[in-house]
Amino acid sequence: TCSHQSPLSHFTCSHQSPLSHFTCSHQSPLSHFTCSHQSPLSHFTCTHHSPLSLSHFTCSHQSPLSHFTCSHQSPLSHFTCSHQSPLSHFTCSHHSTLSLPHFTYSHHSSLSLLHYLIFCSHHSPR
């Protein structure tokens, strides 16, 4: 759902799916917008920081138990997320397809109980 708020520059898009909620706010005519993802288990905030391109994002994840930092590596498809906390380590891999957005998390314990590997499968339309 998109709501146009200004003749040239501003609009608000809200996406809702059974497993996740997205809200995107366009902040300038060409370049900047902020996207926030909220799900029952996590919160994401994505800030567009590329002046002329829609292909670069900085994403930060904050939850009561963890912190995530995500770097956008491809205009449409690939994300790499690294998690570091005093108690554990996580690695996140995001891949985008043309299906509806959702997140899948799988945990695998390493040699230590304080180390984990997370694979996050992120599917979203273009």
- pLDDT tens sequence across 19-71: 344 444 444 444 344 444 444 334 444 444 333 333 333 444 443 334 344 43
Burial letters 52-89, b for 16+ CB under 10 A, else e? eeeeebebebeeeeeebebebeeeeeebebebeeeebe
pTM: predicted TM-score of the whole model, two decimal places: 0.20
**Chain center to CA of 16:** 14
Does residue 1 fall inside a structural domain?
A: no
pLDDT of the residue at 94: 37
Structural domain of 62 = 13-123
**Mean pLDDT score, 103-107:** 35
Does residue 53 fall inside a structural domain?
A: yes
Does residue 42 fall inside a structural domain?
A: yes
Number of domains in the chain: 1
Does residue 72 fall inside a structural domain?
A: yes
Does residue 5 fall inside a structural domain?
A: no
Does residue 67 fall inside a structural domain?
A: yes
Does residue 4 fall inside a structural domain?
A: no
